[in-house]
Each structure stands twice: as structure tokens, then as C-alpha cells.
A and B are shown apart, each in its own frame.
Chain A
């Protein structure tokens, strides 16, 4: 069995364990799903082309309770696929994946809201999508209502909500389900600045209370400040793993190198080689002269 999931955390066991996990996609246009398609294919006697791509080729990682793992990598590196595998939306094509404990993702806030139901009714509906019972939701509903800061709107159908209110309610439910593992994709662009701050504070509280976090972000500062360790995912493989600072630096160095290559290609074969300063990162195009700790 390639994937094993259990709702409960097993003491002493990691929450997520991946061994040589790979995931394949077959490009849609090559799938002959309708009879019409099949018929045309039959007539044209074309061979079935399997144009496949592998967002994840060989990924092994372990996430233990209380840890916080940051994932960095360029667009299309397979980060979202990785999260979908952990949530259980997609199964791995090969390799072993074990997930213990209840996973809650902040990928799609408010997915599953029913427009005609009120905010309060949607809290219960959304909670049950995350697998909580009515009693568990009763214990949380006040906390969620307080957190979402929707005032009287809580008893209004959510179709009348602004998009900001929508995500605020979604976030309030998700963070208050007390998951064993929280998945966060990208910086939370939720509501206004003060609510964003509240969201980040809530994630910090969750971490402080021993919660486990899997954070995918292009915000390398967030990775360094929140994560206990990090991985750099690219071309479906882990390019680096370890302390966030090391991974981020390696990633940045590679990004800068690529940029240099691209620039020297633009400038022709006789491009000027940039001076590389020993013991320093980068090409010297920008220099940090001062930093202020907030």
C-alpha cells in the first residue's frame, strides 16, 4: 500500500514519513476519455502518446511532532503536489507515504462553504469537513466567531460576505480545529494588515503549543523565522535539507547563479565575469550595508 493514513498520532512516531515518494501526471490532452476521442484515435491509428511529467521524482522526508518544516523552491518545483500528497487529495504514484494525525490545510480557506447557509452554519459544516464532531465544534464555535471578527454578519448567509470576510471565517475555522499538522501554502494574504498579523500570531501560538507545521513559502524570512528545518525542492527532488538558514542560503546562491548565467547569456558569450568576493554571497550587484532589528 503506497499511502497509509491514520487519524491518530502514534506516540514516538513521526507525523509524516515519505520514502522515495514519486508522483506522476499524465497530460490531459493525451487522455482519450470520450468515445469520440477513442474513435478518432482508432481511425487515425495514432499511437497513444504518454506525455507524462513528474512533479515529484524521489522525495524522502520525516516530520516529527512539534517540528516545523519549511519548503522552498521555484514555481513548478512540486511544492503544491507535495502538500496535496500529505493532505491525501492525491495518492503517490510510487514510494511509501505515512501520515498520522489529523491534517488541516490552509490552502483553500472556505472551500466547502455553502453560500446559502449563514456563517455560523458554515462553521459547523466546515468543521465536519475537517472531521470534527458536533460536540467538538460546540466547544469551539465561540472561539471561532470571536476570531473571525464578523460581528452580526455571523448569522448572515455567506454569499453576502466580502472576499475578505470569507477567508477570515475560513481561517478562523481551520486554525481552531486544533489539527495535529497544519499545512500553510504561501504567505497568508488574509484580510487587512491587522488580521494578517492576528493570523501569524495564531500560527505562532499553535507552534508554541507544540503544533506541527508544514510551511510552503516564497517568503524566505518567514521560513527562517518560523521553521525548525527546511528543504529545498526543485525538479521533483530535494536539492538540500537541514537548518533553514543553510537551505535558504543554498537556494539563494543557486538562484543568483542562474540569474548570472541568464544575464551573461543575454550579454553574449563575451559577457563580463562578475567579481566574486570570497566569503560572501552574491555578485556584489547589491550590498547590504546596514540592518535594523525591529
Chain B
């Protein structure tokens, strides 16, 4: 495992080049170019604010555009990385079948190119912060660590799914639906507070609010982003640590899984 991680580190130049070429080709032949990284979240913010701010006025959340952005941007980063990372190995089958390099660089590069996008979108978020925010959290400096934790988690998911997609192309189809469900089960455009405290399905009673944070690392991550950026205070340290550990476990599994099966990519593709 360590040797494999070191090998990927040795190929960091390849990761860098793949990220750059992915960014370059993403916005080629578009008038606004990389400004789309800013325009896209801005447009989505307008849509969501219109739907949930005006069309459904019974669930009002104050400073809704800021509330939304603090959830939507991390979610978009995750979602785009998973969708892109999923296809990263299959889309580069030409390369995988012909040249040797540690295959892990493919999903990692996809996630990192989305990370750049996410960081650019922070310009929009900080604009919204200046307009809507009353107090800035003294814990704002922990933001890079939160982003790092999310990146580690996302790479773990991308590694797992890109491997599965090599052997079963159904993965991509299934994930279309899963990501939609995941989006609604993550408090992106609503607050987890609106969920009931106890629900009984088929005789089993559970607490959706607690469950959300236990089984859905994205819910925990967005909660931390909101604590820092929207509420303007710090998040509980044990909550933070638990999320970090979950992210590391997901990454560990994803990397092990990827390494175990990547040897067979050459014949499967």
C-alpha cells in the first residue's frame, strides 16, 4: 500500500498535467471560459432561491442564498467528482491498455480538477459572505482542513466507483439514481432541523436527524461548512474528528480496492 502511494507521488507531475489538460479542455470553445466556474453556482443559487425562497415560503431560512451556497458548493464538488471519477478509468482505456503508469492517478486527477473548480467557486461564496454575513467565525482558518477532509473522502469514493465501473458498466447507471437520492438525503437546500426527530417505518423507530449524520459523511461535511461559514462559529471537535476518520477509512478502503483490482484493468477494458 505504501509503495503504491509513493508511486503515485512519484507520478505527481502526471496528475498535475492531467488536471491542467482537463481544465483546459473543459471550457474550450466557450465564450466565458473559466468564468463558468463562477457563473454556474451563481445561476444555481438564483434557481434554488427562487424555488425555495418564493415558491415555498413556508420553510423560510434567513439569508437563504448564503445558506444554500454553503451546502451547494461542497455538494457540487462532490457530485461532479464522483460522476467524473467514475468514468475516469474507462474513458482513458486507450491509455490504460497501452502504457503503464499507476492507474490511481486517473480518478485522483479528476477529483483534483474539480477541486480547482470548487476553489474558484469560493469567490462567489465569499462575495455572498460579504453581502449577507454579520459575523465571521474565528475558526475560519480551519476551512482548508475541511476541504482536505472532503477531498480525501471524495477520492476514496471515486477510486471505488471507477474500479467497479471497469467490471460492471451498470455502476454508472446505478450511480445516476444514487446521486439523486444522495442529494435529497443531504441537507443541501434544506436544514436538517426540519427533519422529524423520530420516524417509525415497519415497526422500527429511528431518528432521521441523527442517522443522517451517522451514515452520510456528506451531511456531516456540509454541516461543518455551515458552522464555519453560515453560522459563524466553530464546529464540535469530536464531530470534526469523527468525520475526518470516516473520510480516511473511505479513502483507505477505496485505495485498497483500487490497487487490488487495477492489475486487471489491462485485460478488462
- Which of A125, A127, A129 has the most chain B CB atoms closer than 10 A to its own CB? A129
**By the criterion CB–CB under 8 Å, are A128 and B16 in contact?**
yes
**By the criterion CB–CB under 8 Å, are B21 and A7 in contact?**
no
Q: Which residues of B are found within 8 Å of A90, using beta-carbon distances?
A: 266-267
**By the criterion CB–CB under 8 Å, are B98 and A133 in contact?**
no
Sorting the interface of chain A by its residue count into under 10, 10 to 19, 20 to 34 or 35 or more gives: 20 to 34
In angstroms, Cα B93 to Cα A10, docked, is: 32
Q: Which residues of A are found within 8 Å of B11, using beta-carbon distances?
A: 128, 131
In angstroms, Cα B149 to Cα A47, docked, is: 47
Binds B, one of A106-114, A203-211, A232-240: A106-114
Interface size on B, residues (CB 8 A): 26
Distance in angstroms from B220 CB to nearest chain A CB is 33
One of B14, B16, B21, B97 near A117 (C-beta < 8 A): B21
B206 touches A (CB below 8 Å): no
**By the criterion CB–CB under 8 Å, are B13 and A134 in contact?**
yes
Distance in angstroms from A21 CB to nearest chain B CB is 15
**By the criterion CB–CB under 8 Å, are A124 and B266 in contact?**
no
Instruction: Identify whether the interface residues of B are mostly helix, strand, loop, or mixed.
Output: helix
In angstroms, Cα B21 to Cα A142, docked, is: 21
Bitwise interface map of B from 69 to 111 toward A, beta carbon under 8 Å scored 1, else 0: 0000000000000000000000000111111110000000000
In angstroms, Cα B18 to Cα A124, docked, is: 10
Chain B, 187-205, CB within 8 A of any chain A CB = none
**By the criterion CB–CB under 8 Å, are B21 and A129 in contact?**
no
Bitwise interface map of A from 74 to 96 toward B, beta carbon under 8 Å scored 1, else 0: 00000000001001111100000
Chain A, 123-158, CB within 8 A of any chain B CB = 124-125, 127-134, 137
A51 touches B (CB below 8 Å): no
**By the criterion CB–CB under 8 Å, are B21 and A114 in contact?**
yes
Distance in angstroms from B103 CB to nearest chain A CB is 10
In angstroms, Cα B200 to Cα A259, docked, is: 80
One of A107, A111, A116, A129 near B24 (C-beta < 8 A): A116
One of A89, A116, A125 near B17 (C-beta < 8 A): A125
In angstroms, Cα B101 to Cα A112, docked, is: 11
Which residue of the partner chain B has the closest CB to A105?
Answer: B99
In angstroms, Cα B24 to Cα A107, docked, is: 28
**By the criterion CB–CB under 8 Å, are A111 and B266 in contact?**
no
**By the criterion CB–CB under 8 Å, are B170 and A34 in contact?**
yes
Chain A, 225-249, CB within 8 A of any chain B CB = none
- Excluding A35-B170, A127-B13, 17 further A-B contacts by CB distance (< 8 Å) are A7-B10, A33-B168, A34-B168, A34-B170, A89-B96, A108-B99, A111-B94, A111-B99, A112-B99, A125-B18, A128-B14, A129-B14, A129-B101, A130-B101, A131-B10, A131-B101, A134-B13
Binding site for B on A (CB under 8 A): 7, 25, 33-35, 84, 87-91, 103, 105, 107-108, 111-112, 114, 116-117, 121, 124-125, 127-134, 137
Query: Ordered nearest first, which 4 A-B pairs have the shortest CB separation?
Result: A88-B100, A128-B14, A108-B98, A89-B266
5 A-B pairs within 8 Å (CB atoms) are namely A33-B167, A89-B266, A90-B266, A90-B267, A116-B25
